[in-house]
Each structure stands twice: as structure tokens, then as C-alpha cells.
Amino acid sequence: MGRERINAVTTSFFGRGSIGLLPGELKKRGYRRGLIVTDRFLFEHKAADRVGEQILAAGAEYAVFYLVQPNPTIQVVNDCIQAAKALEVDFLVAVGGGSAIDAAKGMWLFYEHPDTSFDGLRQRFLDIRKRAFKFPKLGQKAKLVAIPTTSGTGSEVTSFSVITDKQNGNIKYPLADYRLTPDVAIIDPQFTRSMPKSIVADTGLDVLTHAIEAYVSVMASDYTDGLALHAIEMVFTYLEKSYNGDPLAREKMHNASCIAGMAFTNAFLGLNHSMAHKLGAECHIPHGRANAILLPYVIKYNATKPTKFASFPKYKEYVADERYAKIARRVGLCSADTPISEAVDCLVKAIRELMTVTERPLCIKDCGVSEAEFMSKVDELSYKAFEDQCTTANPVYPLVSEIKELYREAYYGE
């Protein structure tokens, strides 16, 4: 991670650009000891060491917590806090995919405020900016730096931390508050070179889902639309090339992931993510793969004029179908005068093609989930998805029975 290779963005839209660590700089700024939060694979493949060398050169010490696993749990967060407390760290560096970054965000919160109630944090609210339960202010004891190694979640710039409560029903909760946004995000494509093809594909399709959901969200705005549309275009242009190992395309996908993150941390997501959170946790399907499988079904559902209207007061009229059509036109999947419903079909077809060229399963059944197991869980999955924080920003307010039908369709595929 030579200095000249570091591109960094601050977490503000109006950040001042590049940040590089100078020799002795951490010491000069009063930082003494850091904890790198990562997973075993990245630890063994020296990603943490590369960051650690920079920390040492900048005059601080560090230790590594490398026990994060995909879909981080409350237990992992607690273990990580014990390490941070023992070392009295004053900065945290998350090095990894969404799992490592989310675990670090969770531990950051409880390291600084051990008495915070998880039950309070997980309460969903239509607009998190106006929530009754207040997240505590972070950054008094430690600063958080996030270095993503997958090009998918955008967690390095988002207000979300997705934590699984294994002991109480194995539920995946997207905790959401701007106070969880890392202080610094370092977007360096070098960290993505070791990704195997399947992770490139799963996480790349996660980017697409973020950007599409942000674009049709009831909280979409002029500011988020530009980011979302650009990220969608980048995925259609670069994901297949990145999958086939093109280094420039890999870098572009890394940027697209962060750009989509900036879009959805402001516009939020939707039903697709609600369903993917519950499906991934229960059936052990990687997050991006679960999102991609559900995406064509959720798009078709959202693109059908609803009987029950979305509840966000600023979403005055239903426009989701037109918005999907705009995406298809913008990406060049159809012409400007293609009717809306045909344009939506073009978008769905293009997503399936992208999944096919990147060798992804197109239905839940093809992920090795048995029919008996899935059908025994589908009622509960549907209730849990309805309850998920992300459902609140979906352009159609779903009935639990409709969510169940979507799960069933996505199980068998077309």
C-alpha cells in the first residue's frame, strides 16, 4: 500500500480528496494504538500486514483481531470489544468486506458506549433521521477507518452495520444511523486483486442491487439519483470484465461500489435487501448472491402499480415503473420510446444475462437449499423481511403474503 496508490475519500460528499499517511503522522496527531479488524483469510494473506506497516511507519502500534466471519454476530462484536478494551486502542481500522467493516462499526459503538441497548438500536423507523431512539455520538474514544477489500457493500461510506443476533432467532439486523459512518474510507483497488471470481460476481451484483434500490427508493433525491445511475452504468460496463480479471475494470467496480454506497446511505434501500437479509441468514447464501437472485422478481413486483401505496409522505405519486424504465434507457438496453413495461422487461433480462455470464445461480433452489427446508421457513422469512428496516423505503408497501409469493417464485425460478 505505497502512498502513491492510496485514493481516499472522506465520508462527507464534500470531502477534500486524497489522504496519505506521512512518516510519524499518527504519533504527531496523538494516536498511539490501533486495532485492525479483519477476517482470517485476509489476515493469512497479509492484507492486515500491509496496513500495519503503514501504521508503524506513521508512529503508532497495532494489533489484529481476525476472527470476523461472514454475517458477523453480536458474539464476534463482543469478542472484538474485549480485544480493544485490553489494548485501550484509540483508532480502529476495518480491513475486509462488508462483514469486517460492519463488525468494526458494531464494536466501535459498544466500545465507546457499552451500556447501549441493542433492542433500542435495532428498532426500525421510517426515516432514521427522525427516529425516537438516538444512537450515541461516536469518535470520543476512537476513530474508525474502513478499507474495503470487496467491491460490493459500500459499508465504508454507509450508515449501516448489519449484525446477526444468533441467540434470538438468528435474525440479521441492519442497524442504521449516520453516527455509524466511518471517519475515513480508503478505496484502494490493490486490496481487491485477490478476490476469486465468485466473490467478484456476488459482490458486484450487490453493487447493482444497491444502486437500483436507491434509485427507486421513496427517499431518492436529485443528489442520490446521479450517484445511483452512474453506479448502475459502471456495473453494466465493468462487472463482466472485472470478473474476467481486467485490472482497470476491477478498479472501476471498486469505485462503483463506493459510489452506490453514497447513494443508498442517503436514499436507503428496499424490499430486495429486506428479503436478502433474512434469506442469507437462514439459508446461508452470500449476501450479494441472495440480492441478485431476488432482484428480477422484486423489480417486476415493484414495477406493477400497487394497490397499497408506499407510506413516505414525500413520495407523492407512484413512479417506480418509470424509474426502472429510465435505468434501462440510460444503460442503452432499449430506446427512448420503448414503452415502460417493455423497458422494465429489458432491465430484468439484462440482469439475468449479467448473472449468467458471471456464472451465478438464477434461483434459490440452485443454491442447494432443499425444497422441504425452504418451504418450512418461508412464512417466517416473509414476516421477518416485512419487519426489516429496509422495507420502509420500498416504493410499494408490501403485504406479507406478497413477500411470501416473491420468495416462492425466486425459489423455483422461471
Helix axes 287-302, 320-330, angle to 10 degrees: 120
Element at 41 (helix H, strand E): helix 40-44
Residue 96 binding ligand NAD, by CB under 6 A:
yes
Strand partners, 96: 148
Compute the least distance from the CB of residue 209 to ligand NAD, in Å: 9
Residue 191 binding ligand NAD, by CB under 6 A:
yes
Q: Contacting ligand NAD (CB under 6 A), which of 12, 28, 29, 41?
A: 41
**Single-letter code of the amino acid located at 309:** F
Residue 288 binding ligand NAD, by CB under 6 A:
yes
Of 189-197, 246-254, 296-304, 393-401, which part binds ligand NAD (CB under 6 A)? 189-197
Contact 383, 116 (CB under 8 A): no
Element at 164 (helix H, strand E): strand 160-165
> Could you give the dihedral angle defined by the CA atoms of residues 343, 349, 350 and 354, in that order, rounded to the nearest 10 degrees?
160
Total residues binding ligand NAD (CB under 6 A): 30
**Positions 160 through 179 that interact with ligand NAD (CB under 6 A):** 160-162
Q: Kindly state the cell numbers that stand for 405.
A: 409469493
Q: Kindly state the cell numbers that stand for 27.
A: 504519533
Of 7-15, 18-26, 157-165, 403-411, which part binds ligand NAD (CB under 6 A)? 157-165
In three-state secondary structure terms, 175 is strand
Residue with cell 436478502: 276
Residue 392 binding ligand NAD, by CB under 6 A:
no
Residue 153 binding ligand NAD, by CB under 6 A:
yes
CA distance 320 to 304: 8
Compute the least distance from the CB of residue 274 to ligand NAD, in Å: 11
Compute the least distance from the CB of residue 411 to ligand NAD, in Å: 20
Compute the least distance from the CB of residue 399 to ligand NAD, in Å: 25
Q: Contacting ligand NAD (CB under 6 A), which of 54, 181, 190, 192?
A: 192
C-alpha angle 398-162-304 in degrees, rounded to nearest 5: 20
* Full DSSP string of 195-219: --HHHHHHHHHHHHHHHHHHHHSTT
Residue 215 binding ligand NAD, by CB under 6 A:
no
Q: Contacting ligand NAD (CB under 6 A), which of 167, 194, 221, 341?
A: 194
Residue 39 binding ligand NAD, by CB under 6 A:
yes
By the criterion CB under 6 A, which residues form the site for ligand NAD? 39, 41-42, 70-71, 96-100, 102, 149-150, 152-155, 158, 160-162, 191-192, 194-195, 199, 203, 206, 287-288
